[in-house]
Structure 1
């Protein structure tokens, strides 16, 4: 792929709780000539955004419709229960579902967990969003089960959380529109999240985007070699001059120098 064929930008969608910072940093290092545009979207809207080509790829939460989208699972998050800091459950390192049997467990409409049966007692109404549910926890209305990244995202000084190993977990994936051939820039980002090096055989765009840097390195090396030669030549000239200055006149030699040293001083 030539530089003129390289797309002008790459649009990456991401959902709340997912932090793409480290991958974005690597992208800027490898493809400085290809801007990366970040698009934040809700977990519910992310699949539709990708299917409609509103983004080139996205960091989303599974499941997604595999007839429309390709996806590579990246990691699974720990599920935690968000509780007030003075809650009795803070005495434990982990909380079981049975420990929540007597609790009002809030179930927001944007819940990300695949429950067969929600533990505890249901609230009178379902909060519209996770953020609303966190506010209700702070008001003492109930507790909330969410992926750990969302508990951190909605952190409050009066709340804390504990892991719930028995609860369903949320999986984060890299997803992009289903196509016969994966676009080159998507391949580049797949390589970045999977830890491929810039010299990977799949790093086609990165290689195409960096000829100026390589040429600069070659020119720098060439200047260094030339500079070393230039430094050596004057050194040889100075040594030759020193030798000429130190050459004894004809008929002199060491005995002549010795005679000069033995000349009596004037009185």
Structure 2
């Protein structure tokens, strides 16, 4: 191994350590038998038992799951249509309209949606959070679907048309099955982004709505307890599982074409 390769390995290890070591610490200390995270006392599952008996946390988890499912359904529908439109119609303005919500800072997105809901005189709550998440996630689904469409052989659709299939039949029999992995990957990505989001949710939730990120934030303002570590570990595992599934279904979805 050359000296240059040694430096590259050292920098890579430091970078990955900086990224993942805090996550490892969160997971390890979720099993710490002490309410204070100052030192390791012993191994226990106590904080997970306390977590599953916490009604506020369970309510926040239910709200997050509900919003995540609603977001993934509607964002997938609209994002699929947007991705197909970007692939079929080479309009310069269309990608800007679809992808701008994911390019601008989240805090700007949250403030603008808050002002929009206030202008509509809409009561902030779970409904406004779901609308905000749908608007934010459509662009991500559109990217995945468009990427899948770009890897599809158009000759298959043309052959189906030559054999007498209508445009609708060609879509359902040829195009839809071919892009279905991308659609599912986009739905999983939308669910993951929705359940993890804090900034946009913070601005659009209102006083009566609570989600997991908001509940965790309210708990860590006092101190980071092992209970917070436990819910963070479970949320991390769920997010990683969904990302791995999405990656298996559409491995090249987010690569530039």
TM-score of Structure 1 vs Structure 2, range by shorter chain: under 0.3
Bigger fraction of residues in strand: 1
Scaled by the length of structure 1, what TM-score is found?
Answer: 0.21
Bigger fraction of residues in helix: 2
Scaled by the length of structure 2, what TM-score is found?
Answer: 0.21
Larger Rg: 1
